[in-house]
Structure 1
Amino acid sequence: MIERRRFSRIIYQAPATLTQGDYQLVTCIQDLSLKGLLLWAVDEPELDKNDIVDVTFTLPDSDITINLSATLIMQNERILHLKIDHIDIESIGHLRRLVELNVGSDELLHRELEHLVDLADYAE
């Protein structure tokens, strides 16, 4: 099978809160990238696939919180595949650093960041 991902996924397990309107769900991040993340939900999710979700998580042993908005791409029971639609500048900086520490290749990370910028330009 050919790998089609353009962004390196890192295994990263941390608790996260997923919110959609008034609905809130306790989840655990399984892996993430600069463009998306995979979550495992503690309870069976009751989400509207056509509505944006907000995800918040705190980096361990710190007070750094990452906030992002995402689209539910796929749900398989309690496994949620999300594509990041919006992330504030401070959160993307922290996410970039987290990926950088786990990817192990500055060159690969910079190539992914350039691709992310290209995607943003294309979307406009």
Structure 2
Amino acid sequence: MVERRHFKRIMYQAPATLHQTDGNWQTDVRDLSLQGILITRPTGWHPSRDDTYTITFCLHECDIELSMETQLVDNNEDCLRMKIHHIDIDSASHLKRLVELNVGTDELLHRELEHLTDLHNI
């Protein structure tokens, strides 16, 4: 199988909240990248016509909260795969730093950031 991902996913586990107009659900972050996030499918959650959600979670051992507007890409009985549609500048900075600390090299991080910029310029 050919790897189609352009962004390195990092394992990151943290409690999170999935928000939508018709409710809020407690969940857990499983992994994330500069482009998306994988979360545990919340108990009692069912897909709705509106596939736009906000996900919030705090970084470990601090009060820094990341918030991102996401779009549901895929769901199964265990998890929800979300694409980041919009993220505020503070959350984006913290996400970038989190990825930077986990990808290993500045070169790989900058390549991912350039690819992300290219995607938004299309």
The TM-score bracket by the shorter chain reads: over 0.9
Equivalent-residue separation in structure 2 for 1:79 and 1:49 (angstroms): 18
Identity %, equivalent residues: 52
Matches within 5 A, 1:90-105: 90-105=90-105
What is the Cα deviation at residue 44 of structure 1? 3.7
What is the Cα deviation at residue 77 of structure 1? 1.4
User: TM-score by structure 1 length?
Assistant: 0.93
Equivalent-residue separation in structure 2 for 1:116 and 1:4 (angstroms): 14
What is the Cα deviation at residue 78 of structure 1? 3.5
For residues 22-50 of structure 1, what are the alpha-carbon distances to aligned partners after superposition, in whole Å with 9 as ceiling and x for unaligned? 31111101100000011003414223253
Equivalent-residue separation in structure 1 for 2:67 and 2:49 (angstroms): 19
| Amino acid across the alignment from 1:104 | G
Equivalent-residue separation in structure 1 for 2:42 and 2:73 (angstroms): 19
Secondary structure of 1:25's counterpart equals strand
User: TM-score by structure 2 length?
Assistant: 0.95
Q: Is the 8 A contact 1:68 1:86 kept in 2?
A: yes
Aligned partner of 1:62 in structure 2 is: 62
Is 1:119 the counterpart of 2:105? The answer is no
Aligned partner of 1:85 in structure 2 is: 85
Aligned partner of 1:21 in structure 2 is: 21
Aligned partner of 2:108 in structure 1 is: 108
| Amino acid across the alignment from 1:57 | F
Matches within 5 A, 1:44-59: 44-48=44-48, 50-59=50-59
Equivalent-residue separation in structure 2 for 1:59 and 1:69 (angstroms): 17
Equivalent-residue separation in structure 1 for 2:94 and 2:49 (angstroms): 27
Unpaired runs of at least 5, structure 2: none
Equivalent-residue separation in structure 2 for 1:100 and 1:48 (angstroms): 34
Runs of 4+ in 1 over 3 A off after TM superposition: none
Secondary structure of 2:4's counterpart equals coil
